[in-house]
Amino acid sequence: MRWLGLILAGGAAVIALYGAFPDTLDGVFGNTYSARMPSKATPAATPTAPSVGQRVVAIAKSQVGYSADPSNSYCNKFSAHWDSGMADCPSGELDEEWCADFAAWVWQQAGVPVAYGYEPAEINGAAVSFYEWGIANGKWHPVTSSYVAAPGDVAVYGLSLLPDADPLAEHVAIVTADARGQRGPDVVNGDGDRTAFSIVEIGTDEVTAYAGHKYYSLSGYVSMP
């Protein structure tokens, strides 16, 4: 039975060598298959929720191309949302110049708290209401400051601050970007006039806004609360 013991001992030695040098012995014995431990899968990255500013920009851009109806009027759904304007529209919407109504609607849809009304420091259909709200809440940044606008801010154009007169502004727009080297921000204009009458449109490097058939210079920015 000695020969059986030799065979068993030899087999054990081969098994031990195979465990230590599987690739080498595969070639010796003609075995083309070898076991491999599965690699660990890389965990999937958790999606990052969009910031409020990103939501503001996405919502504003989703409305590009919307226009007042009839096309030669200011009848629009954003003023109707706020129940502001004249009720003389054939479609049941409300009629007023609506750049500020649009900006306030976009902020609200993105989750920014908006108090709409005509009390001091409330936002309403007047473009200057954004400036007044910004002053009251410490969110106003004049164009002469070093402030760099953030996506979701509101750009204010044509601000007039005359002595012994109420402040006045001509236009507001949602900022989408403020790229280095540009004179003005990239924006989405509600009630824009460049591509059609009273339409939501894109503005690039908008250092001046075209509103009411006139150009008005950038005055500053109102940042979100």
Average pLDDT over residues 8-33: 44
As a whole number, the mean pLDDT across the chain is: 86
C-alpha 192 chain-centroid distance:
19
Angstrom distances, CA of residue 40 to CA of 34, 43, 47, 192:
19, 9, 21, 54
Task: Choose among 53, 112, 103, 111: nearest CA to 78.
Answer: 103
pLDDT at residue 43, as a whole number? 60
**More confident position, 49 or 5:** 49
Q: Please state the rounded mean pLDDT for residues 3-31.
A: 43
pLDDT one-digit tens code per residue, 24-73: 444 444 444 444 555 555 566 666 788 999 999 999 999 999 999 999 99
- For the ranges 25-39, 136-150, 198-212, the lowest mean pLDDT is seen at 25-39
Instruction: List the helix and strand counts (H, then E) for the chain.
Output: 6, 9
Task: Provide the 3-class DSSP secondary structure of residue 57.
Answer: helix
Q: Tens of pLDDT along 92-106?
A: 999 999 999 999 999
CA 212/CA 220 separation, integer angstroms = 19
Mean pLDDT in residue range 162-185: 96
How do 186-192 and 75-76 pair as beta strands? unpaired
The model's pTM is: 0.79
Burial (0-12, 13-18, 19+ Cβ within 10 Å), 45? exposed
